[in-house]
């Protein structure tokens, strides 16, 4: 059976009361629910995600489409770190310390939204809460916890090196005090004012060698600390990574040979000697090529462009290179020092003792000064180390709630009520096809109506009700006339 416009109008006229009732009920329910739902406020902050310069140049060398892909991957990476359990739970502790019932991590995660702005380095962060103050505080605290976590990840290697240098500095100060006391006591006992020229030359040479050995020892220990820290974090992130590149091994071997050559030149030449300058320039060039190759291998072997993970991998491989070079330097320095010790044995016994004490004192001074300098450099590096994330705008108090949208809810309720009322009206019309009046006979049977039999019982009941109403109106009026 097909419907035309006349049928639709007829059904609407027939069921208009039902449709209006359902419409009003739906609007009323939507309005009540909208006013009963507690309001939800949302605060927003924006961050700028910069590409790390140390990795970007080398890592993007093989990317033909520019930096857009890398920027998007950086956004996704930092968004996941921001939503990590460590960051979110830290934010929950700081914002809800005084509350008896704290929000669970999973529930808080549903309130956090990250949205990168297309074709920019901007990342929007939104946090929802039950009040404007909580929304603002939660958003700003979340960003602070996120930046603190990034700082911890990025500076972990520097912290490990700084801790090692701090411990070694205390030991170096004690060694320096003992060496100075021993030298002073020996000079006083032997009544020596100044050593012989030959002894002084040997002491200076051995002191320089020992200074190089001490510096090499510190560098070796620092590299091992960085390697241990990087390996620990890599194992926590994604497991072990092995860089299998013949070119890396070639550069590592060449760098070790150049470091040994430099060590053999320093005892005999000054820093401004052409041979020393040329060797150091070649070492720098080899290091740059090695770093480029390391970055290329990391970019090829790791499908994820996680900058933190790649930085850990690069730091790990560089630490391994530094350890290999330091070990080669140690072997060369030990050999040269042994030759110097043999020359020292040719001196008289008294001069030998004096030379050794002077050497120990000079070495202790050099080690202490070097460690103190390295410690200050580590502190400065830790404080001044740049971050790839900058806060553009902090969150402010939101003016109005984002939920519930009362106007939209009422409009939606009205639409659903109208839809439900119309649907029910047409369903009743075509499911229950009963003949109630002459119009139904004309519509369904297409027959002329000659007459109808009235319902006398219903008419009598209606007449009785009408009569009672009229009597009720007349009785009070007669009573008023009698009283008057």
Ramachandran angles phi, psi of 128, nearest 5°: -100, 145
Q: Residue 41 — pLDDT band, cuts 50, 70, 90?
A: very high
Residue 445 is classified by DSSP as T
CA–CA separation, 474 and 165 (whole Å) = 112
159 and 305 within one domain = yes
Quick one: tokens of 150?
């990034």
Of 372, 427, 395, the residue nearest 162 (C-alpha): 372
**Hey, which residues does 48 pair with through a beta bridge?**
122, 390
Please state which of the ranges 23-37, 55-69, 283-297, 354-368 shows the lowest mean pLDDT: 55-69
**Hey, which residues does 393 pair with through a beta bridge?**
46
Q: pLDDT over 70 for what percent of the chain?
A: 67
137 and 164 within one domain = no
**pLDDT beyond 50 at 61:** no
**pLDDT beyond 80 at 122:** yes
199 and 62 within one domain = no
Of 180, 157, 176, the residue nearest 168 (C-alpha): 176
CA–CA separation, 277 and 262 (whole Å) = 9
Residue 411 within any structural domain of the chain: no
165 and 285 within one domain = yes
Of 26 and 454, the one with more pLDDT: 26
207 and 119 within one domain = no
Residue 11 within any structural domain of the chain: yes
Sign of the dihedral through C-alpha 273, 276, 279, 280: negative
164 and 279 within one domain = yes
Residue 370 within any structural domain of the chain: yes
45 and 82 within one domain = yes
Of 242 and 471, the one with more pLDDT: 471
Of 309 and 44, the one with more pLDDT: 44
Torsion of CA 73, 74, 75, 79, to 10 degrees: 100
For 420-428, the CB contacts below 8 A with 24+ separation are 420/22, 420/26, 421/18, 421/19, 421/20, 421/21, 421/22, 421/23, 421/26, 422/12, 422/19, 424/15, 424/18, 424/19, 424/22, 425/11, 425/12, 425/14, 425/15, 425/18, 425/19, 426/11, 428/15, 428/18
**pLDDT beyond 90 at 21:** yes
**Region 77-97 average pLDDT:** 87
Concatenated DSSP letters of 115-175: EEPTTSSEEEEEEEESSHHHHHHHHHHHHHHHHHHHHHHHHHHHHHHHHHHHHHHHHHHHH
21 and 141 within one domain = yes
Residues in the chain: 484
Quick one: tokens of 49?
């995600």
Containing domain of residue 266, as a range?
A: 155-390
Q: Decide which of 390, 407, 440 is a domain's last residue.
A: 390
State the chain's mean pLDDT as an integer. 76
Of 354, 337, 327, the residue nearest 207 (C-alpha): 337
Q: Decide which of 97, 129, 147 is a domain's last residue.
A: 147
Q: Residue 100 — pLDDT band, cuts 50, 70, 90?
A: confident
Residue 49 within any structural domain of the chain: yes
185 and 251 within one domain = yes
300 and 238 within one domain = yes
Residue 413's alpha-carbon distances to 16, 26, 28, 150, 409, in angstroms, are 18, 5, 8, 47, 6
Q: Decide which of 390, 423, 445 is a domain's last residue.
A: 390
Domain count, the chain: 3
Residue 159's alpha-carbon distances to 50, 70, 154, in angstroms, are 23, 28, 10
Residue 427 within any structural domain of the chain: no
Residue 313 within any structural domain of the chain: yes
Q: Residue 55 — pLDDT band, cuts 50, 70, 90?
A: very low
42 and 130 within one domain = yes
Q: Would the pTM of this model clear 0.75, i.e. be above it?
A: no
Give the CB-side neighbour count of residue 151, counting CA atoms within 13 A: 13
161 and 93 within one domain = no
∠ CA 221-212-335 to the nearest 5 degrees?
100
Question: Residue 352's pLDDT is what?
Answer: 66
Q: How far is CA 165 from the centre of its chain?
A: 30
Residue 405 within any structural domain of the chain: no
Q: Residue 59 — pLDDT band, cuts 50, 70, 90?
A: very low
Question: Residue 57's pLDDT is what?
Answer: 42
Residue 420 within any structural domain of the chain: no
């Amino acid at each position: 059976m097909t419907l035309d416009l006349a049928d639709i109008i007829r059904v609407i006229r027939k069921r208009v009361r039902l449709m209006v009732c359902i419409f009003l009920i739906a609007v009323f329910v939507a309005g009540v629910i909208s006013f009963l739902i507690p309001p939800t406020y949302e605060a927003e902050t924006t961050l700028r995600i910069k590409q790390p310069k140390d990795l970007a140049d080398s890592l993007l060398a093989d990317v033909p489409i520019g930096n857009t892909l890398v920027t998007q991957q950086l956004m996704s990476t930092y968004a996941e770190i921001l939503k990590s359990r460590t960051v979110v739970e830290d934010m929950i502790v700081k914002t809800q310390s005084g509350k008896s019932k704290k929000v669970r991590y999973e529930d808080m995660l549903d309130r956090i939204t990250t949205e990168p702005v297309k074709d920019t380095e901007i990342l929007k962060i939104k946090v929802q809460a039950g009040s404007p103050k909580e929304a603002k505080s939660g958003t700003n605290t979340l960003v602070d916890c996120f930046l603190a976590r990034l700082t911890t990840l990025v500076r972990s290697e520097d912290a490990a090196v700084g801790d090692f240098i701090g411990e070694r500095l205390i030991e170096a100060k004690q060694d320096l005090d003992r060496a100075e006391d021993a030298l002073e006591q020996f000079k006083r006992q032997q009544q020596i004012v100044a050593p012989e020229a030959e002894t002084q030359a040997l002491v200076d040479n051995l002191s320089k060698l020992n200074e190089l050995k001490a510096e090499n020892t510190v560098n070796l220990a620092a590299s091992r600390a960085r390697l241990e820290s990087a390996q620990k974090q890599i194992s926590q992130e994604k497991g072990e990574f092995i860089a299998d590149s013949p070119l890396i091994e070639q550069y590592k071997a060449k760098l070790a040979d150049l470091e040994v050559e430099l060590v053999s030149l320093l005892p005999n030449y000054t820093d401004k000697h052409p041979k020393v300058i040329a060797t150091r320039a070649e070492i720098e060039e080899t290091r740059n090529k090695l770093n480029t190759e390391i970055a290329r291998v990391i970019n090829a072997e790791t499908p994820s462009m996680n900058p933190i993970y790649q930085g850990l991998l690069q730091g790990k491989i560089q630490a391994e290179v530094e350890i290999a070079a330091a070990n080669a330097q140690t072997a060369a320095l030990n050999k040269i020092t042994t030759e110097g010790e043999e020359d020292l044995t040719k001196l008289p016994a008294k001069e030998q003792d004096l030379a050794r004490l002077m050497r120990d004192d000079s070495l202790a001074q050099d080690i202490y000064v070097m460690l103190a300098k390295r410690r200050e450099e580590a502190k400065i590096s830790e404080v001044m180390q740049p971050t790839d994330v900058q806060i553009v705008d902090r969150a402010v108090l939101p003016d109005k709630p984002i939920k519930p949208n009362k106007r939209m809810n009422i409009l939606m309720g009205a639409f659903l009520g109208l839809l439900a009322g119309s649907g029910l009206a047409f369903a009743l019309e075509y499911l229950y096809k009963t003949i109630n009046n002459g119009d139904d006979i004309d519509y369904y049977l297409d027959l002329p109506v000659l007459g109808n039999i009235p319902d006398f019982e219903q008419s009598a009941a209606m007449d009785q009700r009408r009569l009672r109403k009229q009597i009720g109106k007349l009785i009070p009026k007669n009573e008023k006339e009698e009283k008057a």
